[in-house]
Chain A
Amino acid sequence: MVPMAIKPRLPGYALGLILCLLALPAQAGLRVFACEPEWAALARALVPEADITTATSYLQDPHYIEARPSLIAAMSRADIALCTGASLEGGWLPTLLQRAANPVIQPGREGLFLAAEQVELHSAHDHVDRSMGDVHPEGNPHVHLAPDRVPVIMAALVQRLQALQPASAAAIQTRYVRWRVRWNNLRSQWQAAASQLEGRSVVVQHASFAYLLRWLGIAMPLDLEPKPGLPPSAGHLNTLLGSPELERVSAILIASHQGNRGAQWLSEQSGKPVLTLPGTVTGEPGTDTLGDLISRIVSALLETAGDQSGG
């Protein structure tokens, strides 16, 4: 027998509160859930009036986010989720999708847009095992700084948003053309910079900037991580210090969310400057769009290169 006293009961005022809260979200327009700030920035360029929730910031490592309550709530209310895919969010996105139980945002459905699936990835592996570190078999997922891939992702996003909001299709198209023109202009500036930067090399930490560096013709002979996903260890740093490649690098490049102890130590020992740059867009002017962020990274690399040749 079930005792009567333990049946859940809702007092009248609680019911009233729930009804009030139910009425709230109905007024909002398109709701976008972005796993990383770079996709939020692209969405903002196309649908500036949308209500955009960004799950992570440039100060956070997107591999290690938790499927926390606020994210579950945001995803359950969203019309579309923009994520990287390629296992970048493997530690939290599957739980988030399941807990949010949003019928439109599920693998294989229209509401889940995975950027890495729109383009071909670098460093895809046929064979992967964990002794290699936390390697993504699909390839390097950090595609948001790839000057020639971002427009492809953007074009796919345009189609997805237009399908979702047919009434705004023309406006989205107009904004896309404007974005594309600006991107092309910036791209020619980056190309000019690449001619000065080509052949240089930097020490990196993880493959965060790999697409852009490769595009610029900058080599990455040394990585502070002993294996992908492992923090720099004393033994590995000593190996790097002894490497003949270290002489030729112009800087040690790390992202804002990465611990800088390894980079600082190597810098002190070798005299090479540490460049700490946002790994993705921030809320600050100058790095709040992907185009501006790439320009900022390129100019920081140019300055370092300039210092070197000047000194």
Chain B
Amino acid sequence: MMTRKQDRRYARLSLLGLSFTLAGAAGAAEMNPDVSVTLDGYYKQNETALSHRDEGFGLGHTELSLSSPIDDMFSGRLTAVFEDHDGENEVLIEEAYLQTNGLPAGLSVRAGRLLSQVGYLNSRHMHEDDFVERPAVYRAMLGSHYYDDGVRLNALLPVPFFWQVGVEAFSGDQLTEGEDDVGAYTVNTRLGGDLSESQNWQFGLSYLGNRHAGDAHAEEEHEHEEEGHDHSHATTYTGENLYIADAVWKWAPNGNNRAGQVTLSGEYFYQDDLGPHANSGDSNDGWYVSAVYQFAPQWSAGARYGEADLLEAHGDHFHSQTLEESEVMLAWSRSHFSTVRLQYTHQSADGFEHADNTVTVQYVMSFGAHGSHGY
């Protein structure tokens, strides 16, 4: 039989073990923030419509990210993005936020510069994407990824399944320059769960209100953005209201993502109240569906189809445009930290100058700390 005395001895031993590791963790190296660098480079055969990547050799979304707990209440992250357009170098601050760690009642707050959580892809880092560029609807209506200065409040509802609601308030200047202090705001909800051990899903609805969209002053600048000078990724197509519905379904054998995974995802975008010169029925809309199959630990293949029906502002009138995009890709990841991707894009367009088909070869490599990924 085990005696009390022995029990106490084991308890003491474990306490010693704990204090040992705590002392070890206080070492200087542990106080440094996690630094991670993502290298993204590509070769693109032809120029394509609504693209943020020029033809030829180029650097894509090269990122430097620092993150760390600040104290027991706050964490922080700073992400700088290095981009190159026609030989012009730019450093953009994409994220600079504080995040609360566990407020009461399932609440969490993020404040500073952050990626908006509208849609499925927008809050993800670009290097997590399965294709070289975001779908056409993202490029047209969110500038690939919409980030801005502001604040987010999320709440997890205390129900037996996943149900999150969130609101964000932003300056709005990254969408459209304007007068209002709160130029943009979002409302978002997500539901999700498991269908079985091997299948899970998520469904989301988002609204993005752009209060600057009606400011007619912006129209002069907008005329030229299509020419490829749109460095800061301000969106080309704006409207007061943007509604997004997104759905994701994933499957892995026995839930073991390492062995293989199928990811089906799709989103629908609808934008209206396009500005003072628009008719009441004018709208932009579009959608995409994507299927990615990771068929071996190091290999994945995918296909994506998307459409966008857009109205491009030209002073006091609009030009109607459509873009259909079909893409297939094959990616090889030596390790979790390196990916080389081959992609073929077929564009079929109406009203775009540079629509074309292209082959793109891309690498995405990470070094340093590698942050954990979302769903």
Interface-centre pick from B101, B296, B297 (highest chain A CB count, 10 A) = B101
Contact of A57 with B by CB under 8 A: yes
What CA separation (Å) do A158 and B15 show in the bound complex? Answer: 12
Contact of A217 with B by CB under 8 A: no
Check if B160 sits within 8 Å of A21, measured CB to CB. Answer: yes
Check if B197 sits within 8 Å of A152, measured CB to CB. Answer: no
Contact of A167 with B by CB under 8 A: no
Contact with A along B96-127 (1 / 0, CB 8 A): 00011111101110000000000000000000
Check if A73 sits within 8 Å of B162, measured CB to CB. Answer: yes
- Contact residue among B14, B104, B187, B336 (Cβ-Cβ distance under 8 Å from A91): B336
Chain A residues lying within 8 Å of B202, measured Cβ to Cβ, are: 68-69
| A2 and B211 contact, Cβ closer than 8 Å, known pairs A69-B375, A70-B194, A101-B154 | yes
Interface-centre pick from A6, A61, A101, A105 (highest chain B CB count, 10 A) = A101
- Contact residue among B108, B162, B187, B335 (Cβ-Cβ distance under 8 Å from A101): B108
Contact with B along A43-82 (1 / 0, CB 8 A): 0000000000000110111011111111011001100000
Report the minimum CB–CB distance from B90 to chain A (whole Å): 28
Contact of B57 with A by CB under 8 A: no
| A77 and B257 contact, Cβ closer than 8 Å, known pairs A67-B374, A68-B192, A91-B336 | no
What CA separation (Å) do A6 and B187 show in the bound complex? Answer: 10
Chain B residues lying within 8 Å of A105, measured Cβ to Cβ, are: 102
What CA separation (Å) do A181 and B2 show in the bound complex? Answer: 6
Report the minimum CB–CB distance from A8 to chain B (whole Å): 5
- Contact residue among A57, A103, A133, A259 (Cβ-Cβ distance under 8 Å from B102): A103
| A133 and B335 contact, Cβ closer than 8 Å, known pairs A65-B257, A98-B99 | yes
Stretch at the interface among B137-145, B220-228, B309-317, B365-373: B365-373
Contact of B87 with A by CB under 8 A: no
Q: For window 1-31 of chain A, which residues contact chain B by CB distance below 8 Å?
A: 1-3, 6, 8, 18, 21-22, 24-25
Check if B102 sits within 8 Å of A1, measured CB to CB. Answer: no
For chain B, the count of residues having a C-beta within 8 Å of the partner chain is 71
Check if A98 sits within 8 Å of B108, measured CB to CB. Answer: yes
For chain A, the count of residues having a C-beta within 8 Å of the partner chain is 73
Chain B residues lying within 8 Å of A59, measured Cβ to Cβ, are: 254-256
Contact of B70 with A by CB under 8 A: no
Nearest-CB residue, chain B, relative to A231: B297
Instruction: Give me 15 A-to-B residue pairs in the complex whose CB atoms sit less than 8 angstroms apart, sorted by A's number.
Output: A3-B240, A6-B207, A21-B160, A69-B190, A70-B161, A70-B193, A73-B163, A90-B372, A100-B156, A103-B102, A118-B18, A180-B10, A230-B334, A257-B256, A259-B258
Stretch at the interface among A33-41, A106-114, A244-252, A301-309: A106-114
Chain A residues lying within 8 Å of B161, measured Cβ to Cβ, are: 69-70, 73
Report the minimum CB–CB distance from A108 to chain B (whole Å): 6
Q: A25-B158, A156-B17, A177-B2 are in contact. List 4 more A-B contacts (CB 8 A).
A: A72-B156, A91-B370, A181-B2, A231-B296
Contact with A along B149-161 (1 / 0, CB 8 A): 0000010111111
- Contact residue among A69, A90, A118 (Cβ-Cβ distance under 8 Å from B193): A69
Q: For window 100-140 of chain A, which residues contact chain B by CB distance below 8 Å?
A: 100-109, 117-120, 130, 133-134
| A63 and B258 contact, Cβ closer than 8 Å, known pairs A1-B211, A69-B202 | yes
- Contact residue among A22, A120, A184 (Cβ-Cβ distance under 8 Å from B17): A120
Nearest-CB residue, chain B, relative to A28: B160
- Contact residue among A2, A77, A155 (Cβ-Cβ distance under 8 Å from B158): A77
Report the minimum CB–CB distance from B34 to chain A (whole Å): 10
Check if A22 sits within 8 Å of B158, measured CB to CB. Answer: yes
Contact of A211 with B by CB under 8 A: no
Contact with A along B10-42 (1 / 0, CB 8 A): 110111011011000000000000000000000
Report the minimum CB–CB distance from A178 to chain B (whole Å): 9
Check if B102 sits within 8 Å of A102, measured CB to CB. Answer: yes
Chain A residues lying within 8 Å of B72, measured Cβ to Cβ, are: 106, 108-109
Check if A68 sits within 8 Å of B154, measured CB to CB. Answer: no
Chain A residues lying within 8 Å of B255, measured Cβ to Cβ, are: 56-57, 59-60
- Contact residue among A107, A176, A259 (Cβ-Cβ distance under 8 Å from B259): A259
Residues of A in contact with B (beta carbons under 8 Å apart): 1-3, 6, 8, 18, 21-22, 24-25, 56-57, 59-61, 63-70, 72-73, 76-77, 90-109, 117-120, 130, 133-134, 151-153, 155-156, 158-159, 173, 176-177, 180-181, 184, 227, 229-231, 257, 259
Chain B residues lying within 8 Å of A176, measured Cβ to Cβ, are: 7
What CA separation (Å) do A230 and B154 show in the bound complex? Answer: 37
Chain B residues lying within 8 Å of A101, measured Cβ to Cβ, are: 100-103, 106-108, 154, 156
Chain A residues lying within 8 Å of B336, measured Cβ to Cβ, are: 91, 134, 229
In order of increasing CB-CB distance, the 8 nearest A-B pairs are: A69-B192, A69-B162, A103-B102, A61-B258, A59-B254, A73-B162, A101-B108, A156-B14
Check if A184 sits within 8 Å of B2, measured CB to CB. Answer: yes
Report the minimum CB–CB distance from A230 to chain B (whole Å): 6
| A8 and B187 contact, Cβ closer than 8 Å, known pairs A60-B254, A66-B373 | yes
Q: For window 188-211 of chain B, which residues contact chain A by CB distance below 8 Å?
A: 190-194, 197, 200-202, 207, 209, 211
Chain A residues lying within 8 Å of B367, measured Cβ to Cβ, are: 130
Report the minimum CB–CB distance from B69 to chain A (whole Å): 7
Contact of B75 with A by CB under 8 A: yes
Check if A73 sits within 8 Å of B160, measured CB to CB. Answer: yes
Nearest-CB residue, chain A, relative to B154: A101
Check if B257 sits within 8 Å of A230, measured CB to CB. Answer: no
Chain B residues lying within 8 Å of A90, measured Cβ to Cβ, are: 370, 372
Report the minimum CB–CB distance from B250 to chain A (whole Å): 8
| A259 and B17 contact, Cβ closer than 8 Å, known pairs A18-B157, A101-B108, A130-B335 | no
Interface-centre pick from B163, B297, B370 (highest chain A CB count, 10 A) = B297
Interface-centre pick from A73, A107, A181 (highest chain B CB count, 10 A) = A73
What CA separation (Å) do A61 and B374 show in the bound complex? Answer: 17
Check if A68 sits within 8 Å of B2, measured CB to CB. Answer: no
